[in-house]
Amino acid sequence: MGYTVLQFGEGNFIRAFFDWMLQKIGEKAGVKHSVFLVQPLPEGRVDDIVKQGEYHVLLRGYRDGEYRESLDTVTVIAGGANPFTPEGRQAMIEAALSPELRIITSNTTEAGIFFENRAEPHNYPSFLAEMLQKRAAKGLPPLFILPLELIENNGKNLRECLEKYGKLWNYGGVFFDYLESCTFYDTLVDRIVPGFPRKESGEIFRRIGREDFHVTAGELFHLFVLQGDRSILEVLPFHKAGLNVVLTDDRLAFFRNRKVRILNGVHTASTPVALLAGVEYVKDFVEDERFTAMLSSLVHDEIVPAFSDDSDAHKYGDDVLERFRNPALEHAFRSIALNSIAKSNTRLRPTLEDYFRLFGKLPSVLTGCIAAMTDLYDCDGVKDLPGGPMELSDFRQLKGRSLVEMTDSLFPGLDPDLRTALLGRLGELRPGK
């Protein structure tokens, strides 16, 4: 049997999320899939994963108040290649021409979907454009295309890149007709996947019966939202495998905003408060009595009311705080702090703006977190913290170190009234800065 799925990306997340789902679909719904991995960067581990033949996914967390665990074997990876070598590129093209191929998926980070004016394929969208052009020329069946990158309108953005490469390389009408026949989905993925459980690897290897350096650990919770045609269920019957998948016509934006504002927003807002207090891990922060009321108020009094003050959003907020308590997830605030400046504008700004617009005042807890963020960056690029010094990798993105300049760097172009109110309150919280 040829390959049914061509997948760009071999990282921990996509293997513990999408490939794990394919395994469950095979086991519970009887629909077997065979995956060909494509390495999206010149350096990677596709060869090692393919050579090993299988890997394991360790999932742990709370469900209905009870702590549970599963260790699953994933066997869907059947081949792979590094397309940055001549032989790897040829193997990728041959896999793309499998008559059985039905699905393209990817997880190439937020920076993986982009167009660049170059004469030869060089990145994920350009490699995909080349493959689709060759499928079109052979009259092969159209595909379902499911990008998992955490960017808004990921399917639409990918298709636009493909169209640009088609025009750049003069692929012609057959290519564009084929693009039109393919089904693109905008998607949202939600599962915390820290990756290889290094501290527990010896115990896990004993349970497995051998070493598996591709084992990846994550939480039990998972959510996959797809916006588009329901025909995907004929190929990927998620519902028959008991998977938490939502197929929607027009509500992806709701699910995306909910995740970004609540899950990602609480992470980013908590980071400076925790680090300045000497708390290094998310679980410890959520369970610290000093911050319990603060977190509850941040979620239920500020983030949710500014977004969609309904029972589902509040329940998701409670679920997020429960997920953060997971003792198996060593989620370090120092890792979350990477790219804090960009993350603040994406994850915190919508709540800040909508709360001010709806209620005519600042969200007090969130404003305190923003004040802590300016304190974290009030240094020479290395912050002395209770848990040890921390180098702020995006420190140079700040315009300067004054409170006004830091605020304008975190939230450029704020509404004047909101900016005035925010700077005034930050000045009260950090007098003299």
Task: Convert 201-252 into a string of H (helix), E (strand) and C (coil).
Answer: HHHHHHHHCCCCCCCEEEECCCEEEEECCHHHHHCCCHHHHCCCEEEECCCH
pLDDT given at position 175: 98
Which residues have CB under 8 Å from 223's CB, separation 6+? 188, 189, 190, 191, 244, 245, 246, 255, 259
Using CB atoms within 10 Å of the CB of residue 113, give its burial: 0 to 12 exposed, 13 to 18 middle, 19+ buried. Answer: buried
Instruction: Please give the helix or strand (H or E) that residue 265 lies within, else none.
Output: helix 265-276
Q: Which residues of 202-239 are buried (b: 16+ CB within 10 A; e: fewer)?
A: eebeeeeeeebebbbbbbbbbbbbbbbeeebeebbbbe
- Binned average pLDDT, 10 residues per bin, the chain of 433 residues: 92 96 97 97 94 96 87 97 96 97 92 92 96 98 96 94 98 97 97 88 94 94 95 97 96 92 95 97 96 98 93 92 88 88 91 98 98 95 96 88 93 97 97 86
Distances (CA, A) of 59 to 46, 101, 213, 259, 307: 22, 29, 16, 20, 30
pLDDT given at position 397: 87
Q: Which residues of 171-190 are buried (b: 16+ CB within 10 A; e: fewer)?
A: beeebbebbeebbbbbbbbb
pLDDT given at position 223: 95
pLDDT given at position 330: 79
Using CB atoms within 10 Å of the CB of residue 290, give its burial: 0 to 12 exposed, 13 to 18 middle, 19+ buried. Answer: exposed
pLDDT given at position 268: 95
- Tell me, what DSSP letter sits at residue 277? T
pLDDT given at position 327: 86
Q: What is the CA radius of gyration of the chain?
A: 23
- Residues 287, 292, 298, 299, CA torsion sign: positive
Task: Tell me the HSE value of 139 on the side-chain side, using a 13 A CA sphere.
Answer: 0
- Start-to-end C-alpha separation, the chain: 66
Distance (Å, whole) CA 428 – CA 433:
10
pLDDT given at position 1: 59
- From 206, 241, 277, 193, select the one nearest 13 (Cα to Cα): 193
> What is the CA angle 101-233-12, rounded to 5?
65
> What is the CA angle 135-139-144, rounded to 5?
55
Return the residue matching tokens 């915390």.
192
